Amino acid sequence: MNSAQQVTYLVNWLQDYAREAGSRGVVFGLSGGLDSAVVAGLAVRAFGAEALGIIMPCYSDPTDAQHAELCAAALGLSTITVDLNKSFDALCQAFAVTDDSHHLAVANLKPRLRMITLNYYAAERHALVLGGTNRSELVTGYFTKHGDTGVDLMPIADLVKRQVRELAVYLGVPQVIIDKAPSAGLWPDQTDEAEMGISYDQLDDYILTGIADPEVKQIIDRMQKRSEHKRRLPPIPKFQA
């Protein structure tokens, strides 16, 4: 299936699901990154003015918001900005966060705050929340539990990163966004590939073909095993009849 066919399929899928759910549109986070830009392109094609991108800076690199605005202008997308700095500060104060606090536990407050925000606006608008998690992230668990995946629909979760990039080109996403290093933006200068210890090309090759260098395979298999709980509902005890 080529990019044009994938876009047609995904747009129809989104429209059908929203119709069945009685939804009047969709909301999603617009981070200035590749994945959210592709979700934005699909949402605009599927819902037009009823698609809303929400820019949610939380002690973020200012370039991210600039890229988000650039993307919105290129795609004809409506946006609002919700600054989460004070909300993040309030939580850090309530949790008595210090320099000795667990680094990732603090960083993950950001995507969880963003998901609260998206679900609020979705409820206000009788809309569905779209997520930007791709297949590469889903397989490895490279997402925040109860954060990135706290959504109603994940339209690109069956596409690896390189396929998402191909869709971005087709949808007219600005080249600067397509070319930038993937990052969750959890802390300054953070990049996905540096944190994972492998490249997306290596990861995508393994997902699509099952072939990888032994060291790469070991890293991916370990990530997948350790993150299995993220892809499942919480365990439920079963009582015998």
Write down the pLDDT at residue 161: 97
What are the residue ranges in the chain where pLDDT is below 70?
A: none
Q: In a 3-state reduction of DSSP, which class is residue 98?
A: coil
Does residue 228 sit in helix, strand or coil? helix
Would the pTM of this model clear 0.85, i.e. be above it?
yes
pLDDT of 189 reads 82
78: β partners: 52
| pLDDT tens-digit readout, 157-214 | 999 999 999 999 999 999 999 999 888 877 788 888 998 999 999 999 999 999 999 9
Question: Helices in the chain by DSSP H: which ranges?
Answer: 3-21, 34-47, 62-75, 85-94, 103-107, 109-125, 135-140, 161-171, 175-179, 192-196, 200-209, 214-226
Would you say 131 and 35 are in contact if contact means Cβ atoms under 8 Å apart?
A: no
The domain defined by 3-231 carries CATH number 3.40.50.620: yes
CA distance linking residue 161 with residue 179, whole number of Å = 12
pLDDT at position 162: 96
pLDDT at 182: 87
- What residues does 81 pair with on adjacent strands? 55
Question: Which residues have CB under 8 Å from 229's CB, separation 6+?
Answer: 145
In the prediction, which pLDDT does 241 show?
A: 73
pLDDT at 185: 79
